[in-house]
Amino acid sequence: MSSRKSWTLPYIIFSAIFVVIPLFLIVVYAFTDDNGHLTLANFQKFFEHPEAINTFVYSIGIAIITTIVCILLGYPAAWILSNSKLNRSKTMVVLFILPMWVNILVRTLATVALFDFFSVPLGEGALIFGMVYNFIPFMIYPIYNTLQKMDHSYIEAAQDLGANPLQVFLKAVLPLSMPGVMSGIMMVFMPTISTFAIAELLTMNNIKLFGTTIQENINNSMWNYGAALSLIMLLLIAATSLFSTDDKDNANEGGGLW
The answer to whether the CB of 53 falls within 8 A of the CB of 46 is yes
Does a structural domain hold residue 169? yes
Q: Among 111, 108, 79, which residue's Cα sits nearest to residue 177? A: 79
Q: Is residue 207 part of a domain?
A: yes
Do 235 and 84 contact (CB within 8 A), yes or no? no
Query: Would residue 43 count as lying in a domain?
Result: no
Residue 80 near residue 87, CB atoms below 8 Å: yes
pTM above 0.85, yes or no: no
Q: Whole domain around residue 116: which residue ranges?
A: 54-245
Residues 108, 83: Cα–Cα separation, whole Å: 31
The answer to whether position 25 is within a domain reads no
Q: Tens digits of per-residue pLDDT, 146-205?
A: 988 888 788 888 888 888 888 888 888 888 899 999 989 988 988 888 888 898 899 888
Q: What is the reported pLDDT for 36?
A: 84
The CA radius of gyration of the chain, in Å to the nearest whole number, is 22
Look at the chain and report how many structural domains it folds into: 1
Q: Is residue 40 one of the residues assigned to a domain?
A: no
Domain presence at residue 216: yes
> What's the CATH code of the domain at 91?
1.10.3720.10
Distance between CA atoms of residues 132 and 5, nearest Å: 42
Say which amino acid occupies 103: N
51, amino acid identity: E
- Low-confidence stretches of the chain (pLDDT < 50) are 250-258
In a domain, residue 39? The reply is: no
Structural domain includes residue 213: yes
- Under DSSP, is residue 204 helix (H, G, I), strand (E, B) or coil? coil
Q: Which of 196, 191, 200, 194 is nearest to 229 (CA)?
A: 194
pLDDT for the residue 89: 60
pLDDT at 87: 58
Burial class (CB in 10 A: 0-12, 13-18, 19+), 134: buried
In 3D space, the residue among 127, 115, 116 whose CA is nearest the CA of residue 69 turns out to be 127
